[in-house]
Amino acid sequence: MADLIVDGDQLDGVLGSLNFEKTSCPHCGSVYFVRYGRTRIGRQRYSCRECRKTFSETTGTPFMYSKKTLRTWAGYLFCMGGGLTLRQISKALGMNLSTAFSWRHKILSVAVTKTDTVLTETIEVNEFWLKENFKGCRRINPHFRDAENRCPILMLSCRDSQGNIMLRAATRKGLRKLEYADISDILGPVIKRCKMLVTTSNLSYVSFAKKKHLRLCMPYSASYRRPGFSLRNAEIQARGFKGFLKRFRSVASKYLSHYMNWYRIMLNRSGSLTAEIMDMLSSRPRMLTVYDLKNVQFDGTLRQ
């Protein structure tokens, strides 16, 4: 099964298109450096003329301390894009399960930093709920251990008429409605040249639309309904994301933003998922540590 998914020729193409060339020293920023042999696993090494330190093409990227080859990383992304489970991936690539798990989150956290969504023209904004999940969370408030008290997360599924998409965790503060300030915080920075907002019947969107001079349509409200506009695409997208999460049996909510980005990349990719993420990983300014991962919160920010 594994060899069906990881196609050697395609992998070579992906690896060939990656650029690991350094333009400055990652230690001091100097542009005066020379080639200085190869590392033990065959990566190009450089020596800086100013700080005298050596570095390689992967210094400062998540590949830096990895003993696995870039080919293995690309193979991993390939399997991930093909929807293989962690167990299947670890078998296919001969790595242990915990490595497979940490790679998933290294990869997904990179996708988070590259999120620069813009929504334009006609925007559909649908709200949906996800059940809170505390898998892998040790220091949990005992109050939330009781299934009845778990707060669900309110999600926004947004899609514009140009096909741009955004999924965002909006709030986890119990079953309250989104207020004007929440909506403004989330949608304010991403809408550009927007003309029409199509959304749920929450009246907080009315004040947001007024402030931003947007025409407003609420398909489920008699007074704001407009012919020809619906929330169909945003609703399909929300259902698609829920289905996508089911693949993983259960997703810790602190990693939710990682999965949202993964889903977004899968829907929106222009080229190969593998090439795109390998490129993001290799241009990441610093190593993401295991410590960082433990502190990722449900909306993708790091706990201080």
Residues that bind Zn ion (CB under 5 A): 25, 27-28, 30, 48, 50-51
Do residues 281 and 265 lie in contact, with contact meaning Cβ atoms separated by under 8 Å?
A: no
For Zn ion, the closer of residues 49 and 176 by Cβ is: 49
**Minimum distance from CB of 32 to Zn ion (Å)?**
8
Do residues 293 and 105 lie in contact, with contact meaning Cβ atoms separated by under 8 Å?
A: yes
**Minimum distance from CB of 60 to Zn ion (Å)?**
12
**Minimum distance from CB of 288 to Zn ion (Å)?**
23
For Zn ion, the closer of residues 26 and 62 by Cβ is: 26
For Zn ion, the closer of residues 39 and 202 by Cβ is: 39
**Minimum distance from CB of 41 to Zn ion (Å)?**
22
For Zn ion, the closer of residues 51 and 287 by Cβ is: 51
For Zn ion, the closer of residues 30 and 102 by Cβ is: 30
Query: Which residues are registered as beta bridge partners of 167?
Result: 157
For Zn ion, the closer of residues 48 and 296 by Cβ is: 48
Q: Give the strand order in the sheet containing 44-48.
A: 33-38, 44-48, 54-56
Q: Please give the C-alpha separations between residue 179 and each of 92, 151, 182, 186, 210, in angstroms, as whole numbers.
A: 47, 18, 5, 11, 14
| Burial 190-229, CB ≥16 within 10 A → b, else e | bbeebebbbbbebebbbebbeeeebebbbbeeeebeeeeb
Q: Residue 298 is encoded by which pair of tokens?
A: 């449900």
Residues contacting residue 235 through CB under 8 Å, at least 6 positions apart: 126, 157
Q: Residue 146 is encoded by which pair of tokens?
A: 């009781």
For Zn ion, the closer of residues 25 and 217 by Cβ is: 25
Residues contacting residue 241 through CB under 8 Å, at least 6 positions apart: 155, 157, 167, 260, 263
Residues contacting residue 295 through CB under 8 Å, at least 6 positions apart: 302, 303
> Residue 300: which region, alpha, beta or left (left: phi > 0; alpha: psi -120 to 50)?
left
**Minimum distance from CB of 52 to Zn ion (Å)?**
7
For helices 70-81 and 97-113, what crossing angle results, to 10°? 80
**Minimum distance from CB of 36 to Zn ion (Å)?**
12
For Zn ion, the closer of residues 51 and 236 by Cβ is: 51
**Minimum distance from CB of 53 to Zn ion (Å)?**
5
Q: Which residue type, as a one-letter code, is found at position 105?
A: H
Q: Half-sphere exposure of 296 toward its Cβ, with a 13 Å CA cutoff? A: 25
Cβ atoms within 10 Å, residue 149: 12
**Minimum distance from CB of 113 to Zn ion (Å)?**
25
